[in-house]
């Protein structure tokens, strides 16, 4: 599969995108329908997210998902997967006005996640990415891909930081292209990248195939810099 380029001309700048920050617990009162065109919903969730309790995980996950988590060779990563999947069903249930366990979440090749439910009108695109204890969820009506990289020892300075952002953008682009067209049509897609204000030494980029005007962000602390969403470059 040919990876689409991230053309700097198409990068989203801080002045182009409005970020709105909320506590994690406010998803239920703020999100009542799937994202509109030009809108992306994001969640930053710790692997010990209290709303994804053992009871909820047991009730909301499918038998195959519970088995996948239980048989994971690393129990902490198995727990992280369970929390991510339970949280995804929770936030989607708010959008679709149904119970979390009624949301269909299917795993396709290349880590692609497909959402199904009778209340889904049009496309709901979802991506889930992990870094350490953190889980990032993205939901939009456009094709999306999350790219996360982590600072390594000695990777300091503007040039090193840019290399990490570029790699995160490439990962996000590759994930955004999953299940889509390959070859020339994919390479001509109007891809856009938005940097994410991740904690610690994590570099995060969300790649979208349509312009974004508004981001609804749950779980992030408001960055000190203006709106905290400088464009990936």
Indicate the average pLDDT of the chain: 82
How is the chain split into domains, by residue range? 8-218
Half-sphere exposure of 169 (CA within 13 A, CB side): 23
Indicate whether 10 pLDDT > 60: no
Check whether 5 has a pLDDT greater than 50: no
CA pair distance 174, 182, nearest whole angstrom: 11
Q: So what's the pLDDT on residue 123?
A: 81
The first and second tokens of residue 107, run together, are 């795993």
Looking at domain 8-218, which of 3.40.640.10, 3.40.50.11900, 1.20.1300.10, 3.90.470.20 is its CATH number?
3.90.470.20
Quote the CA–CA distance of 137 and 87 in Å, as a whole number: 9
Q: How high is the pLDDT of residue 225? A: 47
- What is the tens place of the pLDDT at every residue in 62-113? 999 999 999 999 999 999 999 999 999 999 999 999 999 999 998 888 778 8
pLDDT digits (tens, 9 = 90+) for 38-48: 999 999 999 98
37 contacts 209 by C-beta, under 8 angstroms: no
Per-residue 3-state assignment (H helix, E strand, C coil) for the chain:
CCCCCCCHHHCCCHHHCEEEEECHHHHHHHCCCCCCCCEEEEEEEECCCCCCCHHHHHHHCCHHHHHHHHCCCCHHHHHHHHHHHHHHHHHHHHHHCCCHHHCEEEEEHHHEEEEECCCCCCCCEEEEEEECCEEEEEEECCCEEEEEEECCCCCCCHHHHHHHHHHHHHHHHHHHCCCCCCCHHHHCCCCEEEEECCCCCEEEEEEECCCCCEEEEECCCCCCCCCCCCECC
pLDDT at 17 over 80: yes
Question: What is the value of pTM for the model shown?
Answer: 0.84
């Amino acid at each position: 599969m040919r990876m689409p380029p991230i053309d700097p001309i198409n990068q989203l700048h801080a002045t182009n995108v409005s970020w709105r920050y909320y506590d994690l617990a406010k998803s239920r009162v703020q999100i009542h329908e799937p994202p509109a065109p030009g809108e992306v919903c994001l969640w930053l969730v710790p692997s010990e997210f209290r709303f994804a309790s053992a009871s909820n995980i047991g009730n909301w996950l499918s038998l195959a998902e519970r088995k996948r988590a239980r048989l994971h060779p690393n129990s902490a990563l198995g727990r992280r997967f369970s929390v991510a999947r339970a949280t995804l069903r929770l936030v989607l249930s708010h959008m679709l006005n149904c119970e979390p366990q009624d949301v269909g979440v299917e795993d396709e090749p290349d880590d692609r996640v497909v959402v199904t439910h009778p209340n889904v009108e049009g496309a709901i695109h979802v991506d889930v990415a992990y870094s350490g204890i953190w889980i990032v969820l993205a939901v939009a009506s456009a094709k999306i891909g999350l790219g996360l990289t982590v600072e390594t020892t000695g990777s300091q300075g503007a040039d090193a930081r840019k290399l990490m952002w570029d790699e995160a953008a490439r990962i996000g682009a590759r994930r955004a292209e999953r299940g889509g067209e390959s070859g020339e049509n994919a390479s001509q897609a109007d891809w856009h990248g938005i940097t994410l204000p991740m904690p610690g030494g994590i570099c995060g980029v969300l790649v979208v195939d349509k312009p974004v005007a508004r981001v609804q962000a749950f779980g992030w602390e408001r960055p000190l810099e203006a709106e905290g969403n400088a464009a990936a470059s």
